[in-house]
Amino acid sequence: MTKIIGLTGGIGSGKTTVAQLFLSSGIPVYITDLEARNLMQSEVVLDQIKKIFGTAVFEKGILLREKLSEIVFNDANKLAQLNGIVHPAVKSHFKQWLIEHQKDPFIIYESAILFESGSYKDCDFVINVVAPLETRIQRVIERDKTTREKVLERIKNQWNDEQKSSKSDFIIENINVDDVKLEIVKILNFLGINQIKS
């Protein structure tokens, strides 16, 4: 049976980079954020969002993601409501994806909110990606063209590194990509996969 390796980390930790390195080693990777974005274009999900958040987050029938993000990242209740719509859709989609990869011994399930959503309970192993707070803040400011205040607000809505690491099997510190590759090799060796493609 395919083993599920959960991959998580706070915003700006660089878990997407780590996910890509696993992918390059030949392990299939499911990126929940990417799939959630795709699923949020489906009629069923859009209808549910409209019911809860109203037409203010839509323009000519198109979801205004930035506006929705601003609302949910500043209000824990609204974030929980949005997650209540998106998580079941992602969970259902992942089940189908897993069937397609049932011949693979391992897959990576990447999720920023692996613990917050309870998805870690379905994983055989969990990897937490960490990085210094200032590094994370700078990465997100550059990536999202946002402000320090907004990044800190989003960090506040997630579990902290200590909480995540205490429930994880492996911890990867993502500062230097060469060091990250070495950590991945160690994990692959532990799992019985002997090499990573460069």
Which residues sit in the known binding site for ATP?
12-17
Report which residue type is found at 52.
I
Integer Cα distance of 83 and 108 in angstroms: 21
| 3-state DSSP assignment of residue 116 | coil
Which residue numbers belong to the known binding site? 12-17
Instruction: Round to whole Å and give the CA distance between 194 and 175.
Output: 24
Phi-psi region for residue 148, left (φ > 0), alpha (ψ -120 to 50) or beta?
A: alpha
